[in-house]
Chain A
């Protein structure tokens, strides 16, 4: 069964500093990987996805993520954080012939001035 681990429950970062959120997945075949962001009281917004090809993927809002098969990881990065990036971030994994996304427990990002 597929699963996702987000090791960091909460991260605090200064505005303008870089951000990296960790995601490790467990799946037997090539996974489909996603990062979503959720602002308080809101639904989930897709930041980026990886299906195949280039292992470094670019997303919206200046985010990027790198798929590393050898480490079963799909970490999310942003070079310079803005106050509006404060939110909860979820990593999710799916399978090509599956129908569901499996989500991690999320990482809450706080941005300090």
Chain B
């Protein structure tokens, strides 16, 4: 059984640029949630995708957007990057929409300069 994978591992971008982060969910899981973890803080919920539809969204601006594909993998897109977007971005998959056991990937470390 393959766990949750994320790519890339690390990324450096310049303020104002756009970035796409990718996540492959665990085998058998149809739900992907994205979280932002700033240094020294707990993860903050960005949004969840369930069967290719956005199932819920946290307190993040519209420049944070996402997609889920038929194979249940997912992308997180961030436009007009700001310095405060520097963080570890975590993807978690689960077997159904809503609150269930969420299994996290290793994360993508984004640095915005």
Q: Does A54 contact B (CB under 8 A)?
A: no
Q: Give the total of A residues in contact with B, Cβ under 8 Å.
A: 24
Q: How far is the CA of A101 from the CA of B48 in the complex (A)?
A: 10
Partner of A46, one of B50, B56, B101, B107: B101
- A4 contacts which chain B residues (CB < 8 A)? 42
Given contacts A100-B45, A101-B45, A44 and B104 within 8 Å (CB-CB): yes
Given the contacts A102-B45, A105-B41, A94 and B104 also touching, CB distance less than 8 Å = no
Closest chain A residue to B55 by CB distance?
A99
* Contact A99/B33 with A43-B107, A44-B90 known, Cβ cut-off 8 Å: yes
**B residues adjacent to A (C-beta < 8 A):** 4, 6, 33, 35, 40-45, 48, 50, 55-56, 58, 90, 92, 97-99, 101-107
The answer to whether B56 touches A100, judged by C-beta atoms less than 8 angstroms apart, is yes
By secondary structure, the A interface counts as strand
Please name the residue on chain B nearest to A100 by beta carbon. B45
Take A99-B48, A99-B55, A106-B41 as given contacts and tell me if A49 and B101 are in contact as well, using a CB distance cutoff of 8 Å. yes
Q: Which residues on A are within 8 Å of B, measured CB to CB?
A: 4, 32, 36, 42-46, 49, 90, 92, 94-106
Q: List 13 extra interface pairs beyond A43-B106, A99-B56, A102-B45, CB under 8 A.
A: A43-B4, A44-B43, A44-B90, A46-B102, A46-B103, A95-B99, A98-B98, A98-B99, A100-B33, A100-B45, A100-B99, A101-B45, A101-B102
B55 CB to nearest chain A CB (Å): 5
Interchain nearest-CB distance for A111 vs B (Å):
20
Minimum Cβ distance to chain B for residue A76 (Å)? 15
Q: Which residues of A contact B35 (CB under 8 A)?
A: 101, 103
Contact of B104 among A43, A96, A105, A106 (CB under 8 A): A43
B104:A36 contact, CB within 8 angstroms: yes
Q: Which residue of B lies closest to A90 (CB)?
A: B42
